Chain A
Amino acid sequence: MAPTTTRPGRLTSAASAANQKLAAGWRPRLPSRLFLRFLSRRLAALVLLGLGITFVAFVLTELVPGDPAAANLGQRAIADPGAVQAFREHYGLDKPLPIQYALYLQHLAEGDLGESEQSHRPVRTDLAEYVPATAELALTSIIIAFALGIALGVIAAVRRNRLTDQVLRVLSLGGISMPTFWLALVALYVFFFQLGWVPGSGRLDPGVAPPPHVTGLYTFDGLIAGQLDVLGNALQHLILPACVLAAYNIGLLTRFTRSAVLEVINNDYVLAARAKGLPERTVILRHVLRAALPPIITVGGLAFANVMTGTVLVESIFSWPGIGQYAFHSATTLDLPAIMGVSLFVAVVYIGVNFLVDVLYGIVDPRIRVA
């Protein structure tokens, strides 16, 4: 029997093809051709989506009323007609729209995202400066969210319908109902202003120099440079914003993990594992969680989007010099090239993260990875 064909975007396991494999031995390590085809299709869709995003950004920039040259150049527009002319040529403002879009794409291909009206630097330079800080924050936040969220979700599932479960239900609903920017303010007020447990702003104390630049992540760089004091200081600054950003995702993941575990826990293989005489903790952690993991992983993309949303709202409150704060300032000052640049960048990273999640899903679920 030939392997079942796939529908766009979804994969069915080729269980019946196993019959063909009898003579061929097992050889499970190589990824199956089905999986690779799935990935390449997703990659193609990703590229198309990227193009679509540029189109959206382009349309948005066109919608802005007023003369872009005047807005962008500000004072210089009045004083220097040559600069205005150069600007117009660079963006093809006198040419028809399709040409403008083509020019826009060309600039993007060269990595030119325009120039920020506020900093008067290329947006690309601004982004490069601010990305590592946000990367560090986002990664830490996602790790915290997954660790706590999955743990709480398993507990809620195992104690289903008892008091613990009901309490967790209310708490997780609370987590996804909270305005992140408000939580940041309250947390800062309580833990910094009143209790003094954590430093209030920035990534390091004013007197502490950042470690030698390798990745831009102070924790990681500090660790590999052996500067444990810098590492400690960076962690101190990191902990509160990361937790605030994780709150929404913890609520989300608790709920998701709970339902994923409940889906799995009545399956025969769980009963069979108990029938083997294994201790309940092993059954839950090794058998149930393992099977529930693939759908939980798909939340990874959503969690990332939530963190990105959170950074825009929250970084400025913590004086965290990342792209979230950059986006916030661009928004409040209506620095359009910067806004568009950030949006484009985040969207592209987001698509990439989603693709990674797909890959991860395939790795975790052998039915998809192996034929």
Chain B
Amino acid sequence: MIAQPLPLRFRLGLRRRRGTLGSAWRQPLAIAGMALAGAWILVAILVPFIAPYDPLGQTARLFAEPNSAHLFGTDELGRDVLSRVLWGARLSLPLAFFLVAMAVTIGGVLGGVAGYFGGWVDEVVMRATDLVFAFPTIILAMAVTAALGPSLRNAVFAVVIVFWPSYARVVRGLVMSLTEADYVNASRLLGASSRRALMVDVLPNVAGPVLVLATLDLGNAILLLAGLSFLGLGAQPPTPEWGSMVNIGSQFFERWWMGTFPGLAILSVVLAFNFLGDSLRDALDPRSSWAVKEQTR
């Protein structure tokens, strides 16, 4: 006899978890995100050829409003804002990718080790993540960068320190739940070696959430780096970094073009990565916020 008859209700989440990645790319949000991110990546690559002026080249035309010669106007040293904004991509984007890659690697390894071995290793790693999480992000990043000395390199280091714990937690959680999961044990019982079990069963399930987190963190990395530069702790003048450009723009308030365009650049890049990350999350996790689902109950 049936123990617990399933009522005829298709609750959210009864869908299969994998195999819906293909449909994610067809979502308008994912397409918009990819297009925008792709455009900026192209800019970062091609900027030596497409920037109209030298980003560091000072001219006599200070504080020029946007006009036909300078589409985004010029700044306090007569430099073309458009060129500086474009070159900013070449600075921020590779840094963001590098940063996130480092955080994923460090966090993933530490988290995986903690989850797999447990015991005091786990305790140490978890206390370390607790310590980082105890600070609001910019506070810690600010403190680290200030202590080490304000430079873009130190700012990147500070952001990596702030980002790695999220990955450590995610990977640790997944590794712990999966090493106990029945299907991993089943495949082990059937003779598969531990490594194979890890590859085939554990890794794909870990990769998904990590990928989502990493994509979203690309945007967060850019925001944090820009924030630190805005505080004067990251990129130093005359480097054309978007955050420091907004800082200078805030000092010359009426010359709205100096701060607005770099900020718009930040917004559009971060938006692109957030669109992508959000669509990815929908594809990989059927129970998440904005996936389109069956509505039957």
Contacts and interface: CB of A to CB of B under 8 A. Distances in A.
Interface of A: 49, 52-53, 56-57, 60-61, 63-65, 161, 165, 169-170, 173-174, 176-183, 185-186, 188-189, 193, 255, 258-259, 262-263, 266, 271, 304-306, 308-309, 312-313, 317, 327-328, 330-332, 334, 336, 339-340, 342-343, 346-347, 350-351
Contacts of B134: 49, 52-53, 347, 350-351
Contacts, number: 156
A305 B136 contact: yes
Given A52-B127, A177-B270, A331 B146 contact: yes
Contact of B232 (A161, A271, A331): A331
B253 A182 contact: no
Contacts of A330: 146
Contacts of A52: 127, 130-131, 134
Contact of B231 (A49, A188, A332): A332
Interface residues of B, number: 55
A55 to B, nearest CB: 8
Nearest to B254: A193
Interface string B122-148: 000001001100111111101110111
Given A173-B271, A331-B232, A259 B136 contact: no
Interface string B170-197: 0000000000000000000000000000
SS class of chain B's interface: helix, strand, loop or mixed?
Answer: helix
Nearest to A304: B136
Contacts of B137: 305, 309
A312 B267 contact: no
B135 A53 contact: yes
A279 to B, nearest CB: 20
Contact of B227 (A186, A313, A317, A350): A313
Contacts of A178: 267, 270
Interface in B250-286: 250, 253-254, 256, 259-260, 262-264, 266-267, 270-271, 274-275, 278
Contacts of A193: 253-254
A181 B232 CA distance: 13
Contact of A63 (B12, B148, B256): B148
B16 interface: no
Contacts of A340: 143
